[in-house]
């Protein structure tokens, strides 16, 4: 029996905003890595995110383990970007007194 081994690419795509997502899904690399680091198995991750294929989850976890330093740098950068965006949004949309504003709008 002849057996052929193919080289496969890691199923990760980078969107227009520079966010790494599992190919063909909206699930981010951040999400899979966070679940894995919290102790979830590949099976549990695939079960929780039904758009993910189990083989792709294993591939992504392997990619993360092989390139851990680079991926952690990417994740830190994403967290910093999220903080900047959060501060911009809080500046644009002051969260203080929002309950009172919503209740006032409701009573109008």
Give 73-106 pLDDT, tens digit per residue. Answer: 999 999 999 999 999 988 888 777 888 888 888 8
Q: Is residue 34 situated within a structural domain?
A: yes
pLDDT at position 54: 98
CATH classification at residue 23: 1.10.10.10
Q: Report pLDDT for 13.
A: 97
Sign of CA pseudo-dihedral 98, 84, 80, 58: positive
User: Residue 103: what pLDDT?
Assistant: 87
Residue 66 inside a domain? The answer is yes
Point out the least confidently predicted range of 24-33, 63-72, 94-103. 94-103
Domain count of the fold of the chain: 1
**Is 45 domain-assigned?**
yes
If you ran DSSP here, which 8-state letter would residue 84 be given? H
Q: What's the domain range around 35? A: 12-79
Q: Are 15 and 7 in contact (CB under 8 A)?
A: no
106 within domain boundaries? no
- pLDDT, position 91: 83
């Amino acid at each position: 029996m002849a057996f052929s081994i193919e080289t496969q690419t890691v199923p990760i795509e980078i969107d227009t905003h520079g966010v790494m997502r599992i190919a063909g899904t909206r699930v981010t690399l951040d999400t899979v890595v966070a679940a894995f680091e919290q102790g979830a198995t590949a099976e549990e991750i695939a079960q929780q995110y039904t758009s993910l294929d189990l083989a792709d989850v294993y591939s992504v976890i392997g990619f993360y383990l092989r390139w851990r330093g680079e991926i952690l740098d990417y994740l830190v950068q994403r967290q910093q970007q999220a903080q900047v965006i959060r501060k911009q949004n809080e500046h644009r949309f002051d969260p203080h007194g929002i309950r009172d504003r919503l209740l006032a709008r409701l009573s109008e």
